[in-house]
Amino acid sequence: MYRFASFFSPEEIEQIHEASLEILEDVGLLVRNEKARSVFARRGCRVDNQTTLVKIPRQVVEDCRSSFVPNYKFIAQDPQYDVVLPDDRPVIVTGSSAPNIIDPKTGEERRATSTDIANIAHLINELPGFDVFSISTLADDAPEGQFALSRFYPALKNCKKPVRSNTPTIKDLEMVLELGEIIAGSKEAYMERPFINHHYCPVVSPLTMDVESTEAIIYLTEKGLPVYGTIVPNAGMSAPMSLMGTLVLGNAEFLALSTLIQSIRPGAPMIYAVLSTVADMRTGDYAPGAIETGILQMAHTEMARFYNVPSGGYIGLTNSHCNDAQSGYETGMNVTAALLAGADLFNMGGLLSSLMTFDYAKAVIDNEIALMLKRITRGMEFSKENMCLDLIKEVGPGGNYMDKMHTLKNMKTTAVLPKVANRQGRGHWEEEGRPDSHARALAEAKKILMQDNPARFPAELDAKIRSHFPGIVPGDCKW
Amino acid sequence: MYRFASFFSPEEIEQIHEASLEILEDVGLLVRNEKARSVFARRGCRVDNQTTLVKIPRQVVEDCRSSFVPNYKFIAQDPQYDVVLPDDRPVIVTGSSAPNIIDPKTGEERRATSTDIANIAHLINELPGFDVFSISTLADDAPEGQFALSRFYPALKNCKKPVRSNTPTIKDLEMVLELGEIIAGSKEAYMERPFINHHYCPVVSPLTMDVESTEAIIYLTEKGLPVYGTIVPNAGMSAPMSLMGTLVLGNAEFLALSTLIQSIRPGAPMIYAVLSTVADMRTGDYAPGAIETGILQMAHTEMARFYNVPSGGYIGLTNSHCNDAQSGYETGMNVTAALLAGADLFNMGGLLSSLMTFDYAKAVIDNEIALMLKRITRGMEFSKENMCLDLIKEVGPGGNYMDKMHTLKNMKTTAVLPKVANRQGRGHWEEEGRPDSHARALAEAKKILMQDNPARFPAELDAKIRSHFPGIVPGDCKW
């Protein structure tokens, strides 16, 4: 792109930034985590340990801004899958941590298990649109004390792309890092290429930092391991019923979290990630699929560009419970809007029902949407040669390009050639039994999952892991 | 928007313009219409009446450019529905001239009739997302000699928004204008507010102007009546298999048509309208739903901005034969991309199967997509007041916005409140029988069409029309 779409003039951007600084300085935020309060205190913030209220002077925020860095890297087990923001934009990530899954055999919703995670990991490894596997579901069969391990193990065992997720406690986090070290071969090897990518939502809007997620962010930042947070204000509930109000509040929350991270380790890579939404106040329903989510993402992305930090978030979600037109346009419109505003990261794949439910067909459909986003990013490919003036002269008025060498040479690369999107005529489609995109996508998922998984761990490594963590889930694909 | 997305630098735009001029000057185009050749000849073009080849010197194009105007108005029977490009952007128009319709009772495809057009006109009149009714289907029941009349009469009888379509011959066109004059009350009254909006595709790519559509454009332009053309190159078939090649070719075709129009009547309003596509060369299938259609629309829109002419086209079409995820993301992604690049006009509503088939549910779904586009256009609504700093201070960290006066006051206007998009929880949805967006949209269409049509002609006027055109179709809604 020569230029991204934007809502704001440079002066308006400054005013939004100023408003967020005013919130942090005058209103402050509740910081429930004691270590975080100490960090803020040492940095020169006004901290009340009784009420846990922390007020951040504007100069502290501005000082921290000076150590923001413009890149963020997702490291993979296999280095060929490493991705860097913003260079490799758009970076497409699965949606994550859904408690439920649509069972691919019955079509019914049920609790997800560690075996589902293994299957999904295999699928995501094979779908070229996805760059990062954020572990899509929880694991209902996790043994006691192995909640996070039961998610990361099947994911890492079956997917060589960067794996991303969160952990509920520091104990879980340490167990996951141990797993990483075993896979890497040693602690040192893991620290050199930390291929487990951590993510948390430490800020509860409005203006509250929690205990556990904040602790994990501090822990990982201190160690120099990759971690970032997502800011999730919900207009009408935890934020003002105004897009501008939600933006300045969410922006203040991003700056507060950034101040914490940069105070611990100046230059620590970050992503300005959000899931800013507007509640449907007719019912109070959460509406992450609404177009306002895309508009807010665009606005936050503009602020991220002002701060020179990569941006993105949970964008491209749907409220729909099935792969209908709504699921298509909610995902499609919001990611396209975010992309053209310059967002780098898209947590968009595979979830229905407002983050509650994973669906295989949705993941395959979203893979095609991802490929379309990448095609938009490639853009028009301006060049003298691509203008084809000689060819246009050769074919002339009234001619045909179908049988030209140039056409044959470029027919597989000029356009996305989708597998799910149907382009055949109606007659042919009716003969095939009128398969809709859900049916076509589910068939494609099944085809992939019935093949061997080339990404799977070697047996020796697996034996080592299994003896290190007694009682660990099988972690294998089963289809 | 403060700024639209763009692919090209100003220097690249100049080079694209230059390439198009080179095509017109060196390659030229076949002009099958004799009157058009005379116009080009009088203007100083090199015309070969034997071969029909016309070569347009660059200076002729540049001279014509100086009379381009930046606005285009769609006049409606009811002035409250008049819309002006680009002021009222995005202007949302139905897709047009499909031969078939999905019968709303059987769910099967069949030929469309004049009664279908009456029903669709009523529906479009009631759906707030649509600004212009481009007559969605053909009328298979048209009496001989009344092909166009059988489409325009039911449309104008049942829809007070601007009505748009084409006519196959000048005789058809004159009959339609007669109808307009009867409705207006006199020829003079009609000429003052010509509420029938004409549209043609006079250029057959590559570089050929046809006989009949070109004749209609000349006829209407001479009379000062509203008309515009759409340019429709198809990469791999009638244009190079390269987005840049298709752009410079399509841009040359737009300039050729504009030169004709401006030569006849300098200052005649125009739209830079396109349906530039890339063929799916695996099968040769037409793929207007592909993302390349959106990318090309974005690029043409940038060229339109350079020429200071409103832009748009048939953007938001789908290849799908049903309202599945594909139909949602193909329409949704392409219109969002075009909107953020600055397109003004969207011929997007109600068609499935690559322009072949109208579907009521698709029209209702597209109405919601249209409302989402309009919401993006409203944007963030930057203002000091909308930043809500006082409210954020009042609620404070850890507070709740749900019961605030500000929330109550703004809950109906901040966000789109969709009728079709489902936001309820899965349990409730399952109890209701799992309706997908197709089912919900069809129910909404039926609800509207079972009500009386407030837009319908007065009986006296109708009697006058019916006696003027013996044998004319009934033109009434029948549900």
Return per-residue pLDDT of chain A as tens, 479 residues: 999 999 999 999 999 999 999 999 999 999 999 999 999 999 999 999 999 999 999 999 999 999 999 999 999 999 999 999 999 999 999 999 999 999 999 999 999 999 999 999 999 999 999 999 999 999 999 999 999 999 999 999 999 999 999 999 999 999 999 999 999 999 999 999 999 999 999 999 999 999 999 999 999 999 999 999 999 999 999 999 999 999 999 999 999 999 999 999 999 999 999 999 999 999 999 999 999 999 999 999 999 999 999 999 999 999 999 999 999 999 999 999 999 999 999 999 999 999 999 999 999 999 999 999 999 999 999 999 999 999 999 999 999 999 999 999 999 999 999 999 999 999 999 999 999 999 999 999 999 999 999 888 999 999 999 999 999 999 999 98
DSSP for A86-107 reads TTTPSEEEE---BSEEE-TTT-
Strands (E), A22-146: 29-31, 46-48, 53-55, 72-74, 83-85, 91-94, 100-102, 109-111, 133-134
- Give the closest-approach CA distance of A322 to chain B in angstroms: 7
- Give the closest-approach CA distance of B336 to chain A in angstroms: 6
Contacts of B30 in chain A (CB under 8 A): 397-398
Sign of the torsion angle spanned by Cα atoms B57, B69, B20, B17: positive
Rounded distance, CA B314 to CA B330, Å?
13
Closest Cα to residue A223, out of A183, A257, A174, A184? Answer: A174
- What confidence tens digit (pLDDT) does each residue in B201-212 have? 999 999 999 999
Report the residue from B53, B379, B380 with minimal CB separation from A397: B53
Report the residue from A372, A397, A421 with minimal CB separation from B206: A397
DSSP 8-state secondary structure symbol assigned to residue B23: I
- What is the model's pLDDT at position A8? 98
- Give the closest-approach CA distance of B83 to chain A in angstroms: 24
- Give the closest-approach CA distance of B241 to chain A in angstroms: 5
Secondary structure of residue B195 in the 3-state scheme: coil
ipTM of predicted complex: 0.98
Report the chain B residue with the minimal C-alpha distance to residue A394. B27
Report the chain A residue with the minimal C-alpha distance to residue B29. A397
- What confidence tens digit (pLDDT) does each residue in B232-243 have? 999 999 999 999
User: Over the range A359-377, which residues count as b (16 or more CB within 10 Å of their CB) and which as e?
Assistant: bbbbbbbbbbbbbbbbbbe
Q: Is A57 on the interface with B (CB under 8 A)?
A: no
Q: In degrees, to the nearest 5, what angle opens at C-alpha A201 toward C-alphas A195 and A207?
A: 150
Report the residue from A206, A295, A396 with minimal CB separation from B27: A396
Rounded distance, CA A378 to CA B295, Å?
10
User: Over the range B319-351, which residues count as b (16 or more CB within 10 Å of their CB) and which as e?
Assistant: bbbbbbbbbbbbbbbbbbbbbbbbbbbbbbbbb
Q: Are B401 and A235 within 8 A, CB to CB? A: yes
Closest Cα to residue B244, out of B206, B276, B268? Answer: B276
Amino acid identity of residue A298, one-letter, is M
Task: Give the number of residues written for chain B.
Answer: 479
Q: What is the CA radius of gyration of chain A?
A: 23
> Would you list the domain boundaries of chain A?
389-415
Asked whether the predicted pLDDT for residue B454 surpasses 90, the reply is no
Q: What is the mean pLDDT of residues B86-114?
A: 97
Q: What is the mean pLDDT of residues B55-66?
A: 98
- What confidence tens digit (pLDDT) does each residue in B291-332 have? 999 999 999 999 999 999 999 999 999 999 999 999 999 999
Tokens of A111: 């609790």
DSSP 8-state secondary structure symbol assigned to residue A462: H
C-beta separation of B157 from B179 below 8 A? no
Rounded distance, CA B418 to CA A225, Å?
43
Report the chain B residue with the minimal C-alpha distance to residue A9. B2
Contacts of B241 in chain A (CB under 8 A): 401, 404, 406-407, 409-411, 414
Rounded distance, CA B239 to CA B205, Å?
7
The four Cα atoms A261, A264, A267, A270 give a dihedral, to 10 degrees, of: -20
Tokens of A219: 């822990």
- What is the model's pLDDT at position A455? 85
- What is the model's pLDDT at position A454? 86
Amino acid identity of residue A158, one-letter, is N
Q: Is B281 on the interface with A (CB under 8 A)?
A: yes
Contacts of A422 in chain B (CB under 8 A): 319-321, 326
Q: Is A103 on the interface with B (CB under 8 A)?
A: no
Rounded distance, CA A357 to CA A377, Å?
29
> What global pTM score does this model have?
0.98
Element (H, E) at A297: helix A291-307
Report the residue from B5, B387, B397 with minimal CB separation from A1: B5
Element (H, E) at A333: helix A325-341
Kindly give the pairing relationship between strand B53-55 and strand A234-235.
unpaired
Rounded distance, CA A477 to CA A214, Å?
33
Q: What is the mean pLDDT of residues B245-270?
A: 98
Using CA atoms, how far residue B43 sits from A223, A262, B259, B262, in Å, is 75, 68, 9, 10
Secondary structure of residue B35 in the 3-state scheme: helix
Residue with tokens 């203002």: B383
Kindly give the pairing relationship between strand B208-209 and strand B163-165.
unpaired
Asked whether the predicted pLDDT for residue B455 surpasses 90, the reply is no
Secondary structure of residue B161 in the 3-state scheme: coil
Phi, psi of B81 (to 5 degrees): -100, 0
Secondary structure of residue B431 in the 3-state scheme: helix
Phi, psi of A470 (to 5 degrees): -60, 140
Strands (E), B44-105: 46-48, 53-55, 72-74, 83-85, 91-94, 100-102
Q: What is the mean pLDDT of residues B132-149?
A: 98
Tokens of A166: 């969160």
Q: In degrees, to the nearest 5, what angle opens at C-alpha A397 toward C-alphas A391 and A398?
A: 110
- Give the closest-approach CA distance of A93 to chain B in angstroms: 18
Q: Is A451 on the interface with B (CB under 8 A)?
A: no
C-beta separation of A271 from A301 below 8 A? no
Q: Is A443 on the interface with B (CB under 8 A)?
A: no
Rounded distance, CA A352 to CA A101, Å?
9
DSSP for B240-278 reads -SSHHHHHHHHHHHHHHHHHHHHHHSTT----EEE--EE
C-beta separation of B366 from B120 below 8 A? no
Secondary structure of residue A295 in the 3-state scheme: helix
* 393-432 of A, contacting B, C-beta below 8 A: 393, 395-402, 404, 406-407, 409-412, 414-418, 420-426, 429-430
| Mean pLDDT rounded to a whole number for chain B | 97
Secondary structure of residue B345 in the 3-state scheme: strand
Amino acid identity of residue B185, one-letter, is G
Asked whether the predicted pLDDT for residue B479 surpasses 90, the reply is no
Tokens of B387: 């930043």
